[in-house]
């Protein structure tokens, strides 16, 4: 059995849906299909989920949002008509969307999750109809009926214990099952969504639960690339990655695959195969537990901006029991998650995302550190970018860190910080944001182009 998830670009219009239908018809093992809401049809188009969010904002601001709701209804109605679905099916689909009129904004924002879920849910109903019209026995399955039980706050669903056992029963169904991604239900029947892009998470959870031989994640690219193509247009494709490599790369800016979706697949040992709906003959990228280290020292290079460093110095810090715990507790009490904590004997750096620092938060944190920890010095460096050089091959390769540092030195890029995790799968550099693209380009030359020249010799 295979579980196949299709992203928004794969479902953007009738033509794309027909491609997906042909893919399901071509492989009888694709028994469970997880779908997203329709994505962009062209560059300046709006994703359906964005339209639903905008509709919600209109309602929360006291506007009726009828114009936006009409656009959403028309989007699905046009797809259904272009697919040749009969009028009764079109009416049923559009009526289901218009039911969101009865949703009322609430203080705890629960209504937002119910609103956002409409996109995926309608896609699933529509695609099940299309499969049946094309001779494929298929059934729409609501996440509640499937047993996808969750808990959590708006946009942060977490599956409940026992959910995987319930979902495993889906493998007993004979027809193709079409399940909307992105959301589940609490035992009380309330919808809670996963984080944005969470249809990947739904697909991975179901693939793990039913013990799929592979989880196919269809998108609009032939493969994951070794570096951002906006920086290196001819970036080399990655044919195979380990779960650890993909996790590191996703964290630092690779957006092809949702980073949280790796966990269910990783725990169950289910290979993930990223493929292109528009070019299914392409090799794609497989994410697996292990890969041969001979395939290259570095798998990919990723980068992300928007970080800052809180740099703390105190003489004999290393002898002060509980210093690190008390420092991190100050962040915790201000609800600030931290990313990295490079340390020395008398200093400690806390890397956080600028986006989590609300108005006045950083000032409060600095004041508390000064008062409660009696530090000698504290300073903040803003506008940092983190560059991640990732590869299982670094475990057995001598000089990877030296090669990376030398490459940056030759480019005249000052390294603000360097950190290698204990797994040695990734090497992280902190640099100024304005140097980000240039740093990535030079590192790519060092680890990919130079490597090719060495092999050819």
Helix and strand counts by DSSP (H, E) for the chain: 15, 19
What is the C-alpha separation between 120 and 398, in angstroms, rounded?
Answer: 48
Residue 7 assigned ligand-binding role: yes
Residue 137 makes CB contacts below 8 A (sequence gap 6+) with 131, 174, 175, 176
Q: Are 404 and 429 in contact (CB under 8 A)?
A: yes
Residue 284 assigned ligand-binding role: no
Axis crossing angle, helix 87-98 with helix 110-133, rounded to the nearest 10: 170
Q: Are 366 and 378 in contact (CB under 8 A)?
A: yes
What is the C-alpha separation between 174 and 172, in angstroms, rounded?
Answer: 6
What is the C-alpha separation between 292 and 241, in angstroms, rounded?
Answer: 10
Longest CA pairwise span in the chain (Å): 77
Residue 120 assigned ligand-binding role: yes
Residue 363 assigned ligand-binding role: no
Angle at 125 between CA 120 and CA 127, to 5 degrees: 90
Q: Are 369 and 381 in contact (CB under 8 A)?
A: no
Q: Are 140 and 125 in contact (CB under 8 A)?
A: yes
Q: Name the burial class of residue 427, with classes exposed (0-12), middle (13-18) and buried (19+) by CB atoms within 10 angstroms of its CB.
A: buried
What is the C-alpha separation between 427 and 307, in angstroms, rounded?
Answer: 17
Residue 219 assigned ligand-binding role: yes
Residue 5 assigned ligand-binding role: yes
Q: Name the burial class of residue 422, with classes exposed (0-12), middle (13-18) and buried (19+) by CB atoms within 10 angstroms of its CB.
A: exposed
Q: Are 301 and 226 in contact (CB under 8 A)?
A: yes
What is the C-alpha separation between 126 and 178, in angstroms, rounded?
Answer: 10
Residue 6 assigned ligand-binding role: yes
What is the C-alpha separation between 439 and 253, in angstroms, rounded?
Answer: 15
């890029």: which residue's tokens?
Answer: 413
Q: Are strands 191-193 and 183-185 parallel, antiparallel or unpaired?
A: antiparallel
Q: Are 158 and 194 in contact (CB under 8 A)?
A: no
Main-chain dihedrals φ then ψ at residue 340, nearest 5 degrees: -145, 155
Residue 245 assigned ligand-binding role: no
> What is the token pair recorded at 362?
């950083």
Binding-site residues from annotation for substrate = 49, 120
Binding-site residues from annotation = 5-8, 49, 120, 219-220
Binding-site residues from annotation for ATP = 5-8, 219-220
């Amino acid at each position: 059995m295979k579980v196949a998830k299709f992203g928004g670009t794969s479902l953007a219009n009738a033509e794309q849906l027909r491609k997906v239908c042909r893919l399901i018809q071509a492989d009888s093992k694709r028994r469970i299909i997880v779908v997203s809401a329709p994505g962009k049809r062209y560059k300046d188009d709006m994703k359906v989920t964005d339209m639903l969010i905008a509709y919600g904002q209109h309602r929360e601001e006291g506007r009726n949002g009828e114009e936006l709701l009409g656009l959403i209804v028309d989007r699905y109605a046009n797809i259904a008509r272009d697919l040749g679905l009969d009028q009764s099916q079109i009416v049923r689909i559009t009526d289901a969307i218009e039911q969101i009129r009865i949703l009322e904004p609430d203080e705890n924002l629960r209504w937002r999750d119910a609103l956002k879920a409409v996109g995926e849910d309608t896609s699933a109903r529509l695609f099940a109809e299309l499969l049946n019209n094309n001779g494929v026995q298929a059934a729409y399955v609501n996440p509640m009926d499937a047993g996808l039980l969750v808990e959590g706050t708006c946009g942060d669903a977490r599956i409940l214990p026992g959910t995987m056992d319930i979902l495993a029963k889906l493998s007993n169904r004979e027809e193709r099952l079409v399940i909307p991604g992105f959301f589940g239900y609490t035992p009380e029947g309330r919808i809670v969504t996963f984080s944005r892009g969470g249809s990947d998470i739904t697909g991975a959870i179901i693939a793990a639960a039913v013990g799929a031989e592979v989880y196919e994640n269809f998108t609009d690219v032939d493969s994951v690339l070794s570096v951002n193509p906006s920086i290196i247009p001819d970036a080399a494709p990655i044919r195979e990655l380990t779960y650890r490599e993909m996790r590191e790369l996703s964290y630092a800016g690779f957006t092809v695959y949702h980073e949280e979706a790796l966990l269910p697949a990783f725990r169950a040992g289910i290979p993930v195969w990223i493929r292109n709906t528009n070019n299914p003959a392409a090799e794609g990228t497989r994410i697996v537990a292990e890969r041969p280290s001979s395939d290259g020292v570095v798998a990919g290079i990723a980068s992300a901006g928007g970080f800052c460093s809180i740099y703390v110095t105190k003489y004999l810090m290393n002898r002060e029991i509980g210093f690190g715990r008390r420092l991190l507790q100050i962040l915790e009490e201000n609800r600030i998650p931290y990313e990295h904590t490079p340390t020395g004997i008398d200093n400690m750096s806390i890397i956080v995302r600028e986006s989590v620092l609300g108005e006045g938060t950083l000032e409060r944190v600095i004041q508390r550190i000064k008062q409660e920890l009696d530090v000698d010095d504290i300073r903040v460096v803003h506008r940092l970018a983190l560059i991640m050089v990732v590869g299982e091959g670094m475990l057995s390769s001598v000089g990877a860190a030296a090669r990376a540092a030398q490459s940056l030195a030759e480019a005249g890029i000052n390294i603000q910080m360097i950190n290698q995790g204990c797994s040695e799968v990734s090497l992280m550099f902190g640099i100024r944001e304005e140097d980000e693209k240039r740093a990535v380009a030079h590192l790519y030359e060092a680890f990919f182009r130079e490597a090719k020249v060495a092999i050819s010799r």
